[in-house]
Amino acid sequence: MFSEFPVDFWLALMLAAAAGWAAGHVWRSLGRAKSTLRSERMSPQYFAGLNHLLNEQQDKALEVLRGLAEADTETVETQLALGHLYRRRGEVDRAIHVHEAIMQRPELPALLHQQAQFALGEDYLKAGLLDRAEVCFQKLIDQPAHRTASLRNLLNIYEQQGDWLQAINAYQQLSSFSSPEHPTALAHYYCELAEQAQREGMFSQAMENLNRAFEVQRNFPRGNLINADFYLAAGDARSAAAVCKRVMEIHPHLLPIVLPLFIRAIRALNMSLDNADAQLSLLSADSKQRAALAYAAIVSNVFDEPYLLQCLPDFLRQDATLGEMVQALVADANSLNSVQLHSVATSLAKVFRRTQRYRCISCGVNTGSHFWQCPGCHSWDTLAPVSRLELSPVSRRG
Ligand SMILES: [Zn+2]
C-alpha cells in the first residue's frame, strides 16, 4: 500500500528524519511534497508514517521503510534510506550489508555509487573499522558533493589513529574548501609531532614541529609548555620558568597543568614560589586566586611548597562542605599549622584522584586527567578544571 505514494516524497521524509533534521524542515518538505500529491492519496497510513518519523519512532518508521524497500527493490534511494536508518539504530552490520549490495549493482549511476560509498564509510566508522572507513572516504575527496564531509571524517579517523602527518594533510585540504571545526587543531597536531620526536630523542625534529605550531598560532599555550620542557631539558631553567609564568598569567585555567612544570623550573634554580625572582601575579592577597593556586597544587600533587600550603585555607573556606568540616575541627582554617595543612592537602589529593577534576565546556564530559582533546566530543582545548570538590565518579577514563 505504501508503494502508492511517490517514493521521492517518502525518501525525503525518511532521510530527513534519519538525519535528525528539525521537525520544521520535515514539515517544509511535506508542504512541497503535498502539492504533488492528489488528495485521494492522503490515506491514514500516510499520516501514521509521518507521525512515526516526527516522533522519532524508529521501529515503526523502519517497518514502513522495509515495506517500501520490499515493494520497490529497484530504487536505490529507498535502499540508501533503509541502510541509513539501520546505522542510526546501531544495526551497523545490516547497514553495511545494504550499502555493499548497492555498490555491487551493475550500471549504478556515479552519483548513487558515491552516495553508497560515503554511507558505507560512515558504517565502517561507526563500527570502528577505521582502515576500511579511510579507504571509502579517500575515494571521495575529489568528489565535490562529498569532499568536505569525507575530509572531516578522515580527520576524525587520523586523530583516532594518532596519525598526525595525515591529519595535517587532511586539515590543510579541508581548510582550502571549508572552515575546519577546531581552529587550533593544526597547532595541536604539530605539538603531537613535537612530543613524539622528543620521546624518540630527535630534538631538531621536535623543535621544527614546535616552530610550525607557533607559525599556526603565536604563543600557543601547549606549544609554550613543550617549549618550557625543552628549556628544562637543555638546562635553561630560567627561560622555562619565564615561559610557565607567562602561560599561568594568560591562561589561569591551565594552572594545574603548568604548576608542576613551573615548580620543577624554580627548584632547578634553587628558588621557592615566594622568592622575589619567582613572583607571579597570582601570588596575591586575592583569596580567589590563592584558592585556585591551592586547588591546582592539590590536583597536580605539588602542595609541598610552603606558599601553596599557605593558600590552602582560602581553598577550604570557598567550599561550603570543606569549610564546615574544618570549622568543626579547628574553628578557623587559618589556625591550622603547616603539618596539619600538609595532612589536609594529602587527604584531599587522595580524594581528588578518585573524582572528576576536569570538565569539557562543550559536551560536559568529566575526566580525572587533563586532555588537550576532549575524549567525549573530540573538541580541542575544551577541558577546564572543575576547581571544586565534586564527589561524583569520573565519566571517562582519565
Ligand atoms: Zn567534550
188 alpha carbon – ligand 1 mean position (Å)? 16
Over residues 258-317, the pLDDT tens digits come to 999 999 998 899 887 776 565 665 566 678 888 888 888 888 888 778 888 888 888 888
94 alpha carbon – ligand 1 mean position (Å)? 30
Give the lowest-confidence range in 42-46, 80-84, 116-120.
42-46
Given 111, 145, 175, the domain boundary residue is 175
Q: 16 or 103: which carries more pLDDT confidence?
A: 103
Residue 169's pLDDT is what?
96
Output the CA torsion sign for 160, 164, 166, 168.
positive
Query: Please, which residues have CB less than 5 A from ligand 1, an ion?
Result: 360, 362-363, 365, 374, 376-377
Residue 54's pLDDT is what?
60
In a domain, 123, yes or no: yes
Q: Which domain holds residue 389?
A: 355-398
In a domain, 162, yes or no: yes
Percentage of the chain modeled with pLDDT above 90: 43
352 alpha carbon – ligand 1 mean position (Å)? 21
Over residues 165-177, the pLDDT tens digits come to 999 999 999 998 8
363 alpha carbon – ligand 1 mean position (Å)? 4
In a domain, 43, yes or no: yes
Residue 114's pLDDT is what?
95
Q: 302 or 32: which carries more pLDDT confidence?
A: 302
In a domain, 327, yes or no: no
What CATH number should be reported for the domain holding residue 94? 1.25.40.10
In a domain, 68, yes or no: yes
Residue 187's pLDDT is what?
97
Percentage of the chain modeled with pLDDT above 70: 74
Q: How many domains does the chain have?
A: 2
Given 175, 197, 220, the domain boundary residue is 175
373 alpha carbon – ligand 1 mean position (Å)? 8
Over residues 33-81, the pLDDT tens digits come to 343 333 333 334 445 555 665 666 667 777 766 666 665 666 777 788 8
Within 72-220, where are the H helices? 76-88, 92-103, 110-127, 130-138, 147-161, 164-177, 185-199, 203-216
What CA–CA distance (Å, rounded) separates 70 from 189? 48
Residue 197's pLDDT is what?
96
16 alpha carbon – ligand 1 mean position (Å)? 26
pTM as predicted: 0.76
In a domain, 191, yes or no: no
In a domain, 20, yes or no: yes
Given 128, 147, 175, the domain boundary residue is 175
153 alpha carbon – ligand 1 mean position (Å)? 17
The conformational region for residue 187 under phi > 0 = left, psi -120 to 50 = alpha, else beta, is: alpha
What CA–CA distance (Å, rounded) separates 386 from 354? 13
What CA–CA distance (Å, rounded) separates 37 from 34? 5
Most confident segment among 12-16, 246-250, 325-329: 246-250
pLDDT at 25 over 50: no
In a domain, 396, yes or no: yes
Q: Which residues have a Cβ under 8 Å from the Cβ of 289 and sit 6 or more positions away?
A: 252, 282
